[in-house]
Amino acid sequence: MRVGIGHDTHRLVEGRPLILGGVRIDHPRGLLGHSDADVILHAVADALLGAAGLGDIGEHFPDTDPQWKGLDGGRLLADVVALVARAGWKVGNCDVILHAQEPKLTPYKRAIRENLADLLRVQVSDVNVKAKTGEHVGPIGRGESISCEAVVLLQGSGLRTED
C-alpha cells in the first residue's frame, strides 16, 4: 500500500464558472486558472501521482502548454488514474478537505463523491468529502481563493514491475 497527499489553490474571481469535483456549483464567482481550475480534482490527481511516485500534475500537464488550456479536470484525473493503473496501482480510498468560505458544499457533496468514485474506479463509500470555512480570516476566509487537500491510498494490483 502507498499513501499520497495533494493540494491545490485557485483564486476566486468574477466571470468564471465554479466547478468543484467535476460538479458545476451555483455561485456568482468561479476559480481562475489555465485549466478549469477544479481544485478538488487537481488535488486528488496530485495525491495519486504522489502515492505512485510519479511526480505531479504540473509535470504531466504543464500550464505553459497550450494543449492543456481549459483542460477538463475530469479528463485530467481520468488520465492520471490510467497512468497510475498502468504502474500497477488501484485506489483504496480517498479523503478530501475543501477550504472555502462560500458556497456551502453540503448540497453538492453526494454528487462530488459519486463523480470522484466513477473517476477513481471505486465505490462511493471509498470517497469522503469534507468542507471547512476560512472562519473569515486569510485569503480563503475573505473569499479570495479556494483550496483543497486530498489524501489517497493506493493498493498494489499485482501488475507492478520492480525497479
Pinpoint the alpha helices (H) of 11-93: 39-52, 57-60, 73-86
Neighbours of 69 (CB within 10 A): 10
C-alpha cell at 78: 481520468
DSSP summary character for residue 16: S
* Candidate segments 4-12, 20-28, 59-67, 115-123, binder of Mg ion by CB under 5 A: 4-12
- At its nearest, how many Å lie between Mg ion and the CB of residue 16? 13
Q: Which residue is nearest to Mg ion, using beta carbons?
A: 42
Closer Cβ to Mg ion, 7 or 90, answer by number: 7
Q: At what angle do helices 39-52 and 109-120 cross, to 10 degrees?
A: 30
C-alpha cell at 92: 483504496
Closer Cβ to Mg ion, 56 or 114, answer by number: 56
Closer Cβ to Mg ion, 36 or 126, answer by number: 36
Neighbours of 41 (CB within 10 A): 33
Q: Does 8 bind Mg ion (CB under 5 A)?
A: yes
30 pairs with which residues across the strands? Answer: 13
Closer Cβ to Mg ion, 8 or 126, answer by number: 8
- At its nearest, how many Å lie between Mg ion and the CB of residue 14? 19
* Candidate segments 8-16, 17-25, 65-73, 83-91, binder of Mg ion by CB under 5 A: 8-16
Of 42, 99, 109, 113, which one interacts with Mg ion (CB under 5 A)?
Answer: 42
- At its nearest, how many Å lie between Mg ion and the CB of residue 137? 23
C-alpha cell at 140: 480563503
Neighbours of 26 (CB within 10 A): 9
Contacts to Mg ion by CB under 5 A: 8, 42
